[in-house]
Structure 1
Amino acid sequence: MNTYNLVVIGSGPAGRRAAIQAAKLGKSVLVVENRLRLGGVSVHTGTIPSKTLRETVLNLSGWRERGFYGLSYRVKKDIEGKDLGARLRMTLDYEIEVLEHQFARNGVRTFAGKARFIDANHISVTDPTGDVHTFGFEHAVIAVGTAPYRPANIPFNDHSVVDSDSLVFEPRVPRSLTVVGAGVIGIEYATIFSALDVPVTIIEPRDTILDFIDREIIEEFTHDLRKRGMTIRFGAKVETVELDEQGWPVAILADGRRIRSDMLLYAAGRSGATADLGLENCGIVPADRGRLKVDPITFQTSTRNIYAAGDVIGFPSLASTSMEQGRIAALHACGAAMPPAPAFFPYGIYAVPEISTVGLTEQQVREQGIAYESGVARFRETSRGHIMGLQSGMMKMIFSLETRKLLGVHIVGEGATELIHIGQAVLNLGGTLDYFVENAFNYPTLAEAYKIAALDAWNRMPRNTPIAPIE
C-alpha cells in the first residue's frame, strides 16, 4: 500500500490547485478522479463547456454584429448541434492536455477510479476494471464538486428533458426551450439559446433572480431579456413535468398553467457529489444536499486532517474562488504560511449579456448605514460602444461620501467579466474616486466607462469635495 502526504479526490479547479500547490512544497501527492479523463466537472460538464458553448453561439449567430446589421443577421444560417459540439470537443481535449502536463511536470500522480474513505487515513479506489486499490494519506482534500439535482417528479431522458450535464454532452438546438430555475446556470443557458433566436421561457418560484447582484443591474438585465422576447415567469412553481403525445415536455405549474416546449432544462439546484465517498467512515456528516461544512479560513472539515474545497462546500461556487480554496487548504495541510484572503473577489456570470460584480451592492451599503453616492455609465455612451454597435450595457460604481473610497463596481454588458478586474484592483488597494478621474484610460475602450461613471458620481457629491479635473 502506498501512502501519500496528500490525497486529493477530484481534479477540478479546487483539486488541481491543491495538488499542484502541495507538490511545489515537496509533498507526495495523489489525485483520484472518477472519470477516465482528468478535469472534473469544470472541464467536462461545467465551466469550460458552458463558456465554450456561449462563445460558439455568439460567433456563429453573429450576435455581436447585430447592432449594425439588424436582428436577422447571422454568420451561419442554420446552426445545428454538431456545430456546437465540434468546438466543445476541441476545447475539452486541449484543457485535459494542459492539466495532464501540469501534473506530470510537478510530479503529481493520478489514478482513475471511485474513491471511498476506509477511515480518516485510508481510502479504497475502485478502478474501471473493478479492481480495488488501497492508499494511505496524512491529509486529504475533498474536491468532488457537485452534480445536478434530479427530483423524482421530473422525467429526465437526456434529450427533451435535460439537466446541465446532459445538455452539453450531446448539444442540440431546440425549436423552443423552457428553463426551470433562474440561478446562474439556468440564466446562462437560457440567454445562450436565446441568442440563437430560440424562444425561451424561464420559470422561477421566487420573485427575484440572482439576489447577490445589485438590484439596478438585475433590473437592466431583465429588461434586456424581455426586450429580446424572452418570457420570464416569476413566482411560478413547477409541480411536475409530463411528456405529450409528440414527446415534448410540458411543465405543469402550481397555478394550473401548462408550458410546452421542444426541450426542458431543469436547473433548479445542484447537490454535492459526496454520496458514495464513505464519509461516515471518517466522521464527516454532510449538510443539505451533500454539501460539506468547513472552517472558512483553513477549509478543514470536522475531521481536521481532511479538507474540502470548491463547489462541494457551497457558495460562491466559482472556478476562480475554488482554485484559491484548494490552494489555501493545501498550504494549511502542508504547514506552510497562508496569505490573507483578499477582502473582495469578483463574481462573473457568463450570460448574454455578461454580468460581473465586486464589492458592496447598493443594498448592502444602505444596510451598513454608509453615506454614499453612485455613478452610472452606459456603454452606448462610449466611443468604443458605438464602434462595437452596442445597444445596451452599463457600469455602476459606488463611492463613500466620507472617504471617497470605492465601495463596489457592478457591470452588465459586453466584456463585463474582463472589465471588473480594474475595479477589483482599486477596491482591494483602498483606492478612491480620484484614481478614476485623474488617470487616463485607453481611448476608445469600454474601460473608459470607469471614468464616466466616476465623474457621474462626482457630479452629485457635495461641492466641498475637491474639484475633479475638467474632461
Structure 2
Amino acid sequence: MTQYDLIVIGSGPAGRRGAIQAAKLGKRVLVVEKGSRVGGVSVHTGTIPSKTLRETALNLTGWRERGFYGRSYRVKQEISSEDLRRRLLITLDHEVDVLEHQFSRNRVHHIKGKAHFVDKNTLEIEKNDGEVMRVTGTSILLAIGTKPFRPDNVPFDREKIIDSDELLEIKEIPRSMIVIGAGVIGIEYATIYSALDTSVTVVEPRATMLDFIDREIVEDFAYQLRDRNMKLLFGQSADKIEREPNGKCRVTLSNGRAVVADMVLYAAGRMGATASLNLEACGLAADARGRIKVNPDTFQTDVPNIYAAGDVVGFPSLASTAMEQGRIAARHAVGAPTSEPPQYFPYGIYSVPEISTCGLTEEEVKTRHIPYECGIARLRETSRGHIMGLDNGMLKMIFSLKTRRLLGVHIIGEGATELIHIGQAVLNLKGTVDYFVENTFNYPTLAEAYKIAGLDAWNRMGEIDERTAEAAQ
C-alpha cells in the first residue's frame, strides 16, 4: 500500500484547494475522484454549469438590453438547448484543463475511482478501469460534495421529471416548467428558464423563500418575478407528480390544486454523497441528509485524523466558502498553523436578477436589539444604471446608530455578486458610514450606489443625532 500525508476524496472546490494547500506545504497528497474528469460537482453539474447557463441565456436573449429595446428584443430569435450546451462544454473543458495543470504543477497525485474506508487510515479504491487498490493516509479529507435529493414518490424519468443534475442534459427548452423547491438551486434555474421565455411555476411548502436573505430584498425579488409572470405558489407542497398520456406533467398540490407543464424540475434539497464511503469502518456516521458533523474552526470530524469540508458539512454550501474550508482543514491536518477566517463572507445567488448579501440582515439586527438605520440606493439612480438601461435593482446598507459601523449590505440587481465585495471589505475592517460618504467612487459605475446609500443613511442618522441633541437641551 502507498502511504500519503493527506488523502482527499473529491476534487471539487474544497478538495482541490485542500490538496494544493497541503502539497505547497511539502506534503505527499493524493486526490481520489470518482468522476471521469476532475472538478467534482462544482465543475460538472453545479456551480460552473449553472452560472454558464445563466450567462448564455442572458446573452442570447438580449435580456440586459431590454430596458432600451423592449421585452420583445432578442439577440437570437430561436434558442435551442444545443446553443446552451455549446458554451457550457467550452467552459467545462477550460476548467478541467486548469485544474489538471494545477495538480500537475503542485505534484498532487490523483486517481479516478470510488473510495471507501477499510479503517480510519486506509481506503480501498475501485479505479475506473476496474483495478482495485488500497492506500493509507495519515489524514483524510472528505470533500465528496452532494447529490440531488430524490424521494421515492417522485417518478424521475430523466426526460420530463428531472433533478437539477439532469437539467443540463435536456434535449429542448420546455415551453412551461414547474420547479418544486424555492431554495437557491430551484430559484436560480427557475429564473434562468423564465429569462428564456419558459412559463415557470415555483412550488414551495414554506410560506416564503430564501429565509436567510434580508426580507426587503426578498420582497423586491418576488415582485420582479411576478411582474414577468412567474407564478410563486408558497405554503403548498407537491403531493403527487405524474405524467399524463399527452406527455404533459401534472403536479397535485396539498390544497387540491393541480398545475400542468411540459417539465417538472425537482429541486427540493441535496444530500451528502456519503452513502458509498462505508463510514462505519472508520467510526463516523452521517445524518439523515448524508451530512457530516465537524468542528467549525478546523473542520475536524469526531475521528481526529479525518476532516470534512464543502457542501457535505452543510450551510452555507458555497463554492467560495468550500475552498476556504478545504484550505483550513488541510493546514490543520498536516500540522500547519491556521488563522481564524474573517467574520463575514459574501453569499451570492445567481438568479435573474442576481442577489448577494454579507453581514446581518435587518431581521437579525432587530432580534439583537441593536439601534440601527438603513441607507438605500436604487441602481437606476446611478448614471451607470441609466447607461445600462436598468429599471430595477437595489443596494441596502444597515448601520449601527451607536458606533456608526456597517452591519450588513444586501444587493439585488445587475452585478450584485461583484458589488458585494466593497461592502464585505468595509464590514471585515469594521468601517463606518463615513467611509462611503467621504470616499470617491469611479464615475459612472454601479458602485456609486454605495455612495448614494451611504449618504441616505448618513442624512437619516444626522437627523436622529439632531433630535437627540435637542432633547438633551
Report if TM-score (shorter chain) is over 0.5: yes
Hey, what does 2:469 align to over in structure 1?
Answer: none
Superposition pairs for residues 299-378 of structure 1, below 5 Å? 299-378=299-378
Q: Post-superposition shift, 1:463?
A: 4.1
Distance (whole Å) between structure 2 residues aligned to residue 172 and residue 361 of structure 1: 40
Q: Post-superposition shift, 1:464?
A: 7.3
> Quick check: 2:408–2:427 contact (8 Å CA) kept in 1?
yes
Distance (whole Å) between structure 2 residues aligned to residue 134 and residue 366 of structure 1: 54
Superposition pairs for residues 38-437 of structure 1, below 5 Å? 38-170=38-170, 172-437=172-437
The residue type paired with residue 393 of structure 2 is G
Q: Post-superposition shift, 1:252?
A: 1.1
Distance (whole Å) between structure 1 residues aligned to residue 244 and residue 100 of structure 2: 46
**Residue 452 to residue 128, structure 1, CA distance change in 2 (3 Å):** same
Distance (whole Å) between structure 2 residues aligned to residue 126 and residue 240 of structure 1: 39
Q: Post-superposition shift, 1:465?
A: 5.0
- TM-score normalised over the length of structure 1: 0.98
Listed one character per residue, the Cα deviations across residues 84-111 of structure 1 (whole Å, up to 9, x for unaligned) are: 0001110000000000000000000000
Q: Post-superposition shift, 1:288?
A: 2.3
Q: Post-superposition shift, 1:153?
A: 1.0
Distance (whole Å) between structure 1 residues aligned to residue 454 and residue 97 of structure 2: 44
Deviates most, 240-249 or 82-91: 240-249
| Secondary structure class of the residue paired with 2:251 | strand
Listed one character per residue, the Cα deviations across residues 99-124 of structure 1 (whole Å, up to 9, x for unaligned) are: 00000000000000000000001000
Distance (whole Å) between structure 2 residues aligned to residue 205 and residue 236 of structure 1: 4
The residue type paired with residue 415 of structure 2 is G
Distance (whole Å) between structure 1 residues aligned to residue 28 and residue 95 of structure 2: 24
Distance (whole Å) between structure 2 residues aligned to residue 286 and residue 368 of structure 1: 33
Distance (whole Å) between structure 2 residues aligned to residue 414 and residue 76 of structure 1: 21
Hey, what does 1:9 align to over in structure 2?
Answer: 9
Distance (whole Å) between structure 1 residues aligned to residue 408 and residue 102 of structure 2: 36
The residue type paired with residue 159 of structure 2 is H
Q: Post-superposition shift, 1:405?
A: 0.5
Distance (whole Å) between structure 1 residues aligned to residue 34 and residue 464 of structure 2: 63
The residue type paired with residue 75 of structure 2 is V
The residue type paired with residue 438 of structure 2 is E
**Residue 463 to residue 232, structure 1, CA distance change in 2 (3 Å):** closer
> Quick check: 2:175–2:197 contact (8 Å CA) kept in 1?
no
> Quick check: 1:84–1:171 contact (8 Å CA) kept in 2?
no
> Quick check: 1:45–1:169 contact (8 Å CA) kept in 2?
no
RMSD over aligned Cα atoms: 1.0
Q: Post-superposition shift, 1:294?
A: 0.3
Listed one character per residue, the Cα deviations across residues 268-295 of structure 1 (whole Å, up to 9, x for unaligned) are: 0000000000100000010121100001
| Secondary structure class of the residue paired with 2:138 | strand
Distance (whole Å) between structure 2 residues aligned to residue 148 and residue 452 of structure 1: 42
* Equivalences, count: 466
Distance (whole Å) between structure 2 residues aligned to residue 64 and residue 389 of structure 1: 8
- TM-score normalised over the length of structure 2: 0.97
Hey, what does 1:469 align to over in structure 2?
Answer: none
Q: Post-superposition shift, 1:462?
A: 3.9
The residue type paired with residue 342 of structure 1 is P
| Secondary structure class of the residue paired with 2:447 | helix
Q: Post-superposition shift, 1:400?
A: 0.5
Q: Say whether 1:37 aligns with 2:42.
A: no
Listed one character per residue, the Cα deviations across residues 176-196 of structure 1 (whole Å, up to 9, x for unaligned) are: 010000000000000000001
Q: Post-superposition shift, 1:258?
A: 1.1
Q: Post-superposition shift, 1:382?
A: 1.0
Distance (whole Å) between structure 2 residues aligned to residue 379 and residue 463 of structure 1: 25
> Quick check: 2:383–2:444 contact (8 Å CA) kept in 1?
yes
Distance (whole Å) between structure 1 residues aligned to residue 253 and residue 130 of structure 2: 44
Distance (whole Å) between structure 1 residues aligned to residue 427 and residue 271 of structure 2: 33
Q: Post-superposition shift, 1:128?
A: 1.7
Listed one character per residue, the Cα deviations across residues 410-437 of structure 1 (whole Å, up to 9, x for unaligned) are: 0000000000000000110010000000
Hey, what does 2:470 align to over in structure 1?
Answer: none
Q: Flag structure 2 segments of 5+ consecutive residues without an equivalent.
A: 467-473
Deviates most, 172-181 or 57-66: 172-181
> Quick check: 2:297–2:340 contact (8 Å CA) kept in 1?
no
Distance (whole Å) between structure 2 residues aligned to residue 350 and residue 96 of structure 1: 22
Hey, what does 1:458 align to over in structure 2?
Answer: 458
> Quick check: 1:353–1:412 contact (8 Å CA) kept in 2?
yes
The residue type paired with residue 340 of structure 1 is E
Deviates most, 125-134 or 203-212: 125-134
Distance (whole Å) between structure 1 residues aligned to residue 159 and residue 33 of structure 2: 27
Q: Post-superposition shift, 1:12?
A: 0.1
The residue type paired with residue 5 of structure 2 is N
Q: Post-superposition shift, 1:169?
A: 3.1
> Quick check: 1:85–1:171 contact (8 Å CA) kept in 2?
no
> Quick check: 2:33–2:40 contact (8 Å CA) kept in 1?
yes
Q: Flag structure 1 segments of 5+ consecutive residues without an equivalent.
A: 467-471
